[in-house]
Structure 1
Amino acid sequence: MAIIKLSAIERRRLSAFVTCLAVAIVAWVFTVLSNPQTYKVKQAIVFKNMPQRRAFHSLQPDTLNATVVGSGWKMLFTRMSESNDRVTVDLSTLESKNYIVLNNQLRQINARRDAEHQIIGFDPDTLFFDFSNRLIKRVPVKLVNGVKYQKQFMQSGAIVIKPSHVTISGPAEVLAKISAWKTDSVNLKGQNESYHSRVNLQPSTEGNLTVLPKSVIVNIPVDEFTEKTLQIPVRLINNRHYYDVKVFPQKVKVTFTTALKDFADINEDDFEAVADLDQWTQGYRVLTVRLTHSPSYSKVVKIVPQNVDFIVKK
């Protein structure tokens, strides 16, 4: 293989040539990218000024292609980021029409954009809508609860949400599928005190659905829990033939956890322990004790004894 040997002068000339060529290429790239370019960008559609007397359903996807005029740098950065910009479409004319011509809103759409990144057209240019009667419905708010408590602390009462219901309006077929509206997730760790805060509602995924209000006040009572033991009388059930039945013992010890604020107020009247005589007819020699009533937000730890003896006098 032949090797070309260059003299020192020739090497300097070659080096100068390569340098000039590189500078020329860089200058050409800068010149091209500095000139205005026309390119297409995918844009997400956001609606505003939605009609109040007509429910609608968009017949197009929630994105469209916009033809944009901007510098080559803008085009390059847009392609590199692959981000979907948003186009805000005014629906106020839908009160009397069933379509929106996007080119008629170019001025107000571009007013929200920088001067070097202007839209000159859309594909599709016209958005069509299907209409139905707009109905109103009230549904309860459902809290998305992700609270984790510190040891010995728990929820000590009912969660209060104000307002407890929201008003939604939209097409009848959409409202028929909605029975409740969820909040954003309330995620707490090591909670050891009551929670009281404003929580946003989850946004609607339907462009033709309105939800009011947008947020609610959530109150979650939290307290420290401790154990308490009470003697609870055992009541016999299903004594269908009214036999004279005696159970032994007549009371059982129920150990449960309760919030400190309720500790002094909880007594045996808040519990009901029963023994089912039907177990005797099924061949059991002892009757199982179970609780049919206990205070809310209290957790039964143990019942002693879990079974009671009995004597039946016919």
Structure 2
Amino acid sequence: MTDAAATSSRAPVLPRRNPLGILLRGALIGIVETVPGVSGGTVALVTGIYDDLIGAGHHAAAAARVLLTGPDRLAGARKELVAVPWRLVIPLLIGMVAAVLTVAGPIGRLVETHPQTMRALFFGLVAGSVLVPVRLSGGAWRRAELLRFGAGALGGLLLSSLPVTALEPSPWIVAPAAAIAVCALVLPGVSGSFLLLSFGLYQPTLQAVDERDLGYIAWFGLWALVGLVVMVRLMRHLLVRHHRGTMVVLAGVMIGALRSLWPWQDASGGLQGPGAQWLSLLAVAVIGVLAVQLLVLLEARRAPDQAAADGTDDAHR
């Protein structure tokens, strides 16, 4: 076996992370995925695992493709599966599933009973997260980057302004809705829950999870997986070939999508001016911004410490 072949068949070397920390990241992603207007991809971006997750999804999808189409189905699939960072993926999935199964119902009820406060909190969380793709883009934007940012903001605004419809949750309606909504796991700023809300499938989906409707959950999960594979392949290509431009566009999408989290809205989702409780809601939003910045600070401090530890380990080998 050549050195190149040996390297490609080994699992990628990722920063060592505490499994409990990964579990908590997964729980956060699972929680925000139940809230209209918030994207699990935003959490992954803020907590420093976004690129790793895209890479993991790419190798998992490649394994499934090789297993189905060949050549060398078993050997090819095994090679791709070895490249998946399972020590990241497994605890992350456990945290996500546990959070969705335990808090999907309560979070949905909380959003219903305290809509303004919850929107204000998540408005602050997402607004504070925008600085992450801006920093990852490298800064010093030129005219081309400003145009990309504007296009992303417009796209996010349009997606978050979709009118609410009331579709019957039949299998052939659930299938495309699940495939589209799962994009939020991959695309920061776009909320899968908000898209489900726009399709009129938000409450039926939360109810199915809360009541353990396995038929609905399995069908939804199947088509969500299809949508996830497509989006992962697209984002992998963009991050590898156009990383700076992709981060600029994502920052714009996150800004535009804040429209869906504006605290003051009427029953149909139309925007309204600030009400009497604007000061308390502003404080809630500021708490959200500070919480995200604290996470970013902790992640930034952890990265150099981890690099130093890895360098010490390499020196001892």
TM-score range, shorter chain: under 0.3
TM-score (norm 1): 0.18
Specify which structure has the higher proportion of strand. 1
**Higher relative contact order, chain-length normalized (CA < 8 Å, sep 6+):** 2
TM-score (norm 2): 0.18
Specify which structure has the higher proportion of helix. 2
